[in-house]
Amino acid sequence: MSTQISVVVPVFNEEESLPELTHWISRVMNAHGFSYEVILINDGSTDKSWEIIQNLSESNSHLKGLNFTRNYGKSAALDAGFKKAVGEVVITMDADLQDSPDEIPGLYAMITGGLDVVSGWKKERHDPISKTIPSKFFNGVTRWISGIQLHDFNCGLKAYRNKVVKNIHVYGEMHRYIPLLAKWNGFPKIGEKVVLHQARKYGYSKFGLERFLNGFLDLISVSFVHRYKKKPMHFFGLLGTLSFLTGFIITFWLILEKIYGLSQGFKVREVVDQPLFFLALVAIIIGVQLFVTGFIAELMTSNQAKEAEYKIDEEINFDF
């Protein structure tokens, strides 16, 4: 029988939560008769998370494990899980019991009902104010940039059609922007579901202000890359041409002014001595530089090696 649901869980130092989380997921799956797999990606934990994943998956073949050689971040962990997921619907969930496995059937129904992506919305959130205030701001800006009207982009609990996760590449701090990646790659049917949210029961949050700011930089670069990645020359070339032309026109105008403004005829020195000429020269040089930058970018994108950004050194319970 084919697998209906893959639950993808990134794990970084979550040893206390794992037994409770996996039992809870299994309980929900069994109660609804779903065929399922749970992919636990150990993202370089320094606690006993991997040993616990190994033990749990010995007695339950639905549990599958991937072990990273070190900590690569939540995005890399999700990406690795997405590559392996065979379920018709793929659900991501944090390992810390803040997201409730009881939401799985509702999310599953929304995807099989025709949506590409369903994002959880922690409407009543149980996090400190130092997280909720930046989060409101972040969500507003992301809505504005993406045109996707979600309240809670950062919610770890999300569901996708299998095809969506196979067609996106999640890296850096991009886990916050997966609905944007989905939309840009041709999967625009994005819905939202209000989900239960609990305070963290064990351990501590791994995301502070620094990662939050990194996320913003990733958003800017990814919006830019999304627009120009196929043709960087369209961006750099245009800027370069504008700069070059500005310099060229100024020079041309200075020459004309000298030729027609002076009765004693045209002298090159009188053009070259003017401050405006230096400005023109700088504009021409910048123009050429931008053009060259465009060429290099163009070469890089066409030669770009599709190298994996993370290394997996152990796999449990996968058939392939």
Query: Using an 8 Å Cβ cutoff, are 285 and 251 in contact?
Result: no
Size of the site for ligand UDP (CB under 6 A): 17
Indicate the residue among 177 and 236 with the shorter CB distance to ligand UDP: 177
For position 43 contacting ligand UDP by CB under 6 A, the verdict is: yes
Residue 203 structure tokens: 């351990």
Measure Cα distances from 52 to 7, 10, 21, 169, 291 in Å: 18, 14, 12, 28, 54
For position 96 contacting ligand UDP by CB under 6 A, the verdict is: yes
Residue 173 structure tokens: 């701090």
Query: Using an 8 Å Cβ cutoff, are 121 and 159 in contact?
Result: no
Query: Using an 8 Å Cβ cutoff, are 201 and 97 in contact?
Result: yes
| Sheet architecture: strand order including 89-92 | 190-194, 117-121, 158-161, 89-92, 5-11, 36-42, 63-68, 312-316
Indicate the residue among 14 and 79 with the shorter CB distance to ligand UDP: 14
Residue 119 structure tokens: 């994002």
| Residues in 266-305 at the binding interface with ligand UDP, rule: CB under 6 A | none
Residue 77 contact, options ligand UDP, Mg ion, none, Cβ 5-8 Å cut-off depending on partner type: ligand UDP
Out of 156, 179, 232, 294, the residue judged to bind ligand UDP by CB under 6 A: 156
For position 178 contacting ligand UDP by CB under 6 A, the verdict is: no
| Residues in 66-85 at the binding interface with ligand UDP, rule: CB under 6 A | 71, 73-74, 77
Binding mask 200-239 for ligand UDP (x = CB under 6 A): -----xxx--------------------------------
Smallest distance, Å, CB 58 to Mg ion? 27
Strand intervals (E) in 98-256: 117-121, 158-161, 190-194
For position 100 contacting ligand UDP by CB under 6 A, the verdict is: no
Indicate the residue among 19 and 188 with the shorter CB distance to ligand UDP: 19
For position 192 contacting ligand UDP by CB under 6 A, the verdict is: no
Helix (H) or strand (E) holding 10: strand 5-11
Residues that bind Mg ion (CB under 5 A): 94, 96, 98
For the chain, what is the largest distance between any 2 Cα atoms, rounded to a whole number of angstroms?
99
For ligand UDP, the binding residues (CB under 6 A) are 10-12, 14, 43, 71, 73-74, 77, 94-96, 98, 156, 205-207
